Amino acid sequence: MDLIRIGDKVISLSRIANITEQILLARSQGLSQQDVAKKFSVDRSFVSRLESLGELRKGRSIAVIGFPIANAEAVTQLCQELGVERCWVMTNEQRWQYAQSRNGIELINEIMDLANTYRQFDCVILLASNARVRLMAALLDSRAVVPLVLGETPLSTDVTVDIEALKRTILSVTTTSD
């Protein structure tokens, strides 16, 4: 239930969640803790504490792209646990469904939009075949690319990613200074 009673007070959990989200979104848009505190009539230290409670990690912005991945769910789960901002991994079947569900122009436009999105990250970890890694690195800023080659092109079957190796890679790039 959304409402809980604490003594003589009735508390709305959804209201707390909504206001907390608004506070953190305001911070993510560049407002200072003091400005956010004033806007929401809370103490600045409360805003700081919210950030601390939800913090997964500090450091560089990271994305992971990979295909064809046999253990895509495990890779996605690891990325969520480690605070990777964007993770896009697909099995071979998902990759073909993705490509075949769009016409040529749509696919090219979407790939260019995605490349632009991924260029905004400090680091992009690529999990793909050797030729696909080179192609994606060319579309992105190659200085920000960490390639993890899954095999020789073409890869027509799913490849299992070593989760511990990926974890070490993610942790190493999150602690590396620019």
Q: What is the pLDDT of residues 10-35, one digit of tens each?
A: 999 999 999 999 999 999 899 999 99
Which of 97, 151, 114, 98 has the alpha carbon at shortest distance from 129? Answer: 151
Amino acid at position 161, single letter: V
pLDDT digits (tens, 9 = 90+) for 41-67: 999 999 999 988 876 667 788 999 999
Give the pLDDT score at 178.
47
Q: Mark the ranges of the chain whose per-residue pLDDT is less than 50.
A: 178
Give the pLDDT score at 53.
86
pTM of the model: 0.70
Amino acid at position 118, single letter: Y
Give the pLDDT score at 44.
93
Strands (DSSP E) contained in the chain are 3-6, 9-12, 62-66, 86-89, 123-129, 145-151
